Amino acid sequence: MASEDAGGQAARPPVRLGERFEIFPDRPLAELRSPNAAGFVASDHDRPNANIFGLVCDADLPPRHELIGALQGLRTDALLVPRHWGVVVWPPTGRRHFAVIFDRPTGSRVTPAITQPIEPLTEDEIIHHALPGLVDLLKDLFAAGLTHRAIRPTNLFFRDAQHRAVVLGECVSAPPAALQPLACEPIESALANASGRGNGTAADDLYALGATLLYLLYGKYPGAGANDEQLVAEKIARGSYAALLGSERPTGRLVELLRGLLADDPRERWTIDDVETWLEGRRQAPRQTVIVRRAARPYEVSGQPFYTARGVGYAFARDPAAALRAAKGPEFEVWLQRSLCDDERSRLVAAALAEGHDVGLSGHDERMVARLCIALDPSAPVRYKGFAAAIDGFGSALVAAFRGRGSVQHVAEAIGGRLPQFWFAAQPALKPEQVPILKAFERIRPHLDDRRPGFGIERILYEMNPRLHCLSPAIESDYVLDVGQVMAALERSSQQRSGDDFQIDRHLAAFIAARHRAAGSDWYDAVAGNDGPQRTLGTLYVLARLQAINGPAAAPALAQRAARPLGAVIERYHNRARRARIAAELPKAVAKGNFAELLSLVDNAHDRAQDAQGFQLAQREYIGIEREFERLRIEGPKRPERAAQLGQRYAATTASFLAWLVALAVVVAMS
Amino acid sequence: MARSTALKGGNKPGPGARKPGRRAPPGGARGGGAILTLSVIGLTVLALTALPLCLLIVAGALPTAVAILVDRHPRHYLARTVGAMNFAGVIPGALKMWEVGISFASLQQVIASPYQWLVMYGAAGLGWLLFFFVPPVVAMVLDIQFDDTKRQLEARAKALIEEWGEEVTGRKREGG
Mean pLDDT rounded to a whole number for chain A: 88
A395-412 residue pLDDT tens: 999 999 999 988 999 999
Closest CB to B84 among A615, A618, A655: A655
Say how many residues make up chain B. Answer: 176
A27-71 residue pLDDT tens: 999 889 888 899 999 999 999 888 899 999 998 888 998 899 889
- What is the per-residue burial (b if ≥16 Cβ within 10 Å, else e) of A220-235? bbbbbeeeeeebbbbb
pLDDT, mean of residues A438-463: 91
pLDDT, mean of residues A528-546: 86
Which pLDDT band, with edges at 50, 70 and 90, does A186 fall under?
Answer: very high
Q: Cβ(A220)–Cβ(A183) under 8 Å?
A: no
Rg (CA), chain B: 27
Q: Cβ(B89)–Cβ(B121) under 8 Å?
A: yes
Q: Is the pLDDT of residue A161 over 80?
A: no
CA-to-CA dists, residue B83 to A60, A654, B79, B90, angstroms: 112, 12, 5, 10
Question: Among A170, A8, A36, which residue's Cα sits nearest to residue A93?
Answer: A8
User: How far, in Å, CA of A542 to CA of A452, rounded?
Assistant: 14
Q: What are phi and psi of A578, to 5 degrees?
A: -65, -40
Closest CB to B175 among A572, A576, A625: A572
User: How far, in Å, CA of A612 to CA of A156, rounded?
Assistant: 73
Q: Is the pLDDT of residue A615 over 90?
A: yes
Which pLDDT band, with edges at 50, 70 and 90, does B172 fall under?
Answer: low
Contacts of A539 (CB under 8 A, 6+ apart): A502, A503, A504, A527, A562
Using the Cβ of B135 and the Cβ atoms of chain A, whether some distance falls under 8 Å is answered with: yes
Using the Cβ of B91 and the Cβ atoms of chain A, whether some distance falls under 8 Å is answered with: yes
User: How far, in Å, CA of A471 to CA of A465, rounded?
Assistant: 12
Q: Is the pLDDT of residue A6 over 70?
A: no
User: How far, in Å, CA of B126 to CA of B81, rounded?
Assistant: 9
pLDDT at res. A66: 87
User: How far, in Å, CA of A194 to CA of A397, rounded?
Assistant: 8
How many helices (DSSP H) and strands (DSSP E) are in chain B?
Answer: 7, 0
Q: Do B146 and A632 touch (CB under 8 A)?
A: yes
Q: Cβ(B96)–Cβ(B103) under 8 Å?
A: no
- A615 to chain B nearest CA, in Å? 7
Nearest residue on chain A to B158, alpha-carbon basis = A622
Q: Beta partners for A89?
A: A96
Using the Cβ of B159 and the Cβ atoms of chain A, whether some distance falls under 8 Å is answered with: no
List B residues 30-89 in contact with A (Cβ-Cβ < 8 A).
73, 75, 77-78, 80-85, 87-89
- A668 to chain B nearest CA, in Å? 11
Q: Is the pLDDT of residue A360 over 70?
A: no
pLDDT at res. A527: 78
Q: Do A655 and B142 touch (CB under 8 A)?
A: no
pLDDT at res. A636: 83
Which pLDDT band, with edges at 50, 70 and 90, does A601 fall under?
Answer: very high
Question: Among A254, A239, A197, which residue's Cα sits nearest to residue A387?
Answer: A197
User: How far, in Å, CA of A429 to CA of A407, rounded?
Assistant: 31
Q: Is the peptide bond before A91 cis (omega within 30 degrees of 0)?
A: no
Residues of chain B contacting residue A619, judged by C-beta atoms under 8 Å apart? 164, 168, 170
Q: Do B156 and A648 touch (CB under 8 A)?
A: no
- B89 to chain A nearest CA, in Å? 8
Q: What is the largest CA-CA distance in chain B?
A: 93
> A121-125, A325-329, B140-144: which range is least confident on average?
A325-329
Q: Do A576 and B162 touch (CB under 8 A)?
A: yes
A472-490 residue pLDDT tens: 998 999 999 999 999 999 9
Contacts of A219 (CB under 8 A, 6+ apart): A117, A118, A119, A120
Q: Cβ(A455)–Cβ(A513) under 8 Å?
A: yes
Sheet with A82-90, edge to edge strand ranges? A15-17, A21-28, A37-44, A52-57, A95-103, A82-90
A187-196 residue pLDDT tens: 999 999 999 9
Using the Cβ of B104 and the Cβ atoms of chain A, whether some distance falls under 8 Å is answered with: no
User: How far, in Å, CA of B54 to CA of A554, rounded?
Assistant: 106
Q: Do A666 and B91 touch (CB under 8 A)?
A: yes
User: How far, in Å, CA of A417 to CA of A425, rounded?
Assistant: 14
Q: Do B88 and A663 touch (CB under 8 A)?
A: yes
Give me the residue spans of the domains in chain A.
15-103, 123-279, 299-449, 476-603, 641-670
Residues of chain A contacting residue B162, judged by C-beta atoms under 8 Å apart? 576
How many helices (DSSP H) and strands (DSSP E) are in chain A?
Answer: 29, 12
pLDDT at res. A288: 64
ipTM for the predicted complex: 0.76
Q: Do B92 and A655 touch (CB under 8 A)?
A: no
Closest CB to B88 among A626, A643, A659: A659
| β-pair type (A52-57, A37-44) | antiparallel
Residues of chain A contacting residue B61, judged by C-beta atoms under 8 Å apart? none
Q: Cβ(A172)–Cβ(A64) under 8 Å?
A: yes
Q: Beta partners for A387?
A: A384
A241-272 residue pLDDT tens: 998 888 777 778 888 899 999 999 988 899 99
- Which superfamily does CATH assign the domain made up of A123-279 to? Transferase(Phosphotransferase) domain 1 (1.10.510.10)
Residues of chain B contacting residue A632, judged by C-beta atoms under 8 Å apart? 146, 149-150, 153
Three-class SS state of A167: strand
Using the Cβ of B160 and the Cβ atoms of chain A, whether some distance falls under 8 Å is answered with: yes
Q: Do B75 and A646 touch (CB under 8 A)?
A: no
Q: Cβ(A653)–Cβ(B75) under 8 Å?
A: no
DSSP annotation of A10: S
CA-to-CA dists, residue A170 to A53, A78, A106, A200, A209, angstroms: 12, 11, 14, 17, 15
Closest CB to A663 among B91, B136, B169: B91
> Contacts by A352-356 with C-beta closer than 8 Å and gap 24+?
A352/A422, A353/A327, A355/A422, A356/A417
Q: Cβ(A470)–Cβ(A402) under 8 Å?
A: no
Q: Beta partners for A38?
A: A56
pLDDT, mean of residues A654-665: 88
- A644 to chain B nearest CA, in Å? 5
Q: Do B156 and A621 touch (CB under 8 A)?
A: yes
Q: Cβ(A190)–Cβ(A182) under 8 Å?
A: yes
- Name the amino acid, one letter, at A521: S
Q: Cβ(A472)–Cβ(A528) under 8 Å?
A: no
Q: Which of B126, B131, B138, B166 to mutate to probe the A interface, most A CBs <10 Å?
A: B138
Q: Cβ(A574)–Cβ(A615) under 8 Å?
A: yes
Give the distance, in angstroms, between the CA of residue A432 and the centroid of all CA atoms in the same chain: 24
Closest CB to A574 among B91, B127, B165: B165
pLDDT, mean of residues B113-136: 92
pLDDT at res. A76: 85
Say how many residues make up chain A. Answer: 671
Closest CB to A622 among B84, B146, B169: B169
Q: Do A670 and B160 touch (CB under 8 A)?
A: no
pLDDT at res. B15: 38
CATH class for the region spanning A15-103 = alpha beta
A283-305 residue pLDDT tens: 776 666 667 788 889 898 888 89
* Element spanning A46, H or E: none
Chain A / chain B CB contacts < 8 angstroms: 130
Helix B77-100 vs helix B114-164: crossing angle, to nearest 10:
140
pLDDT at res. B18: 40
Q: Cβ(B131)–Cβ(B82) under 8 Å?
A: yes
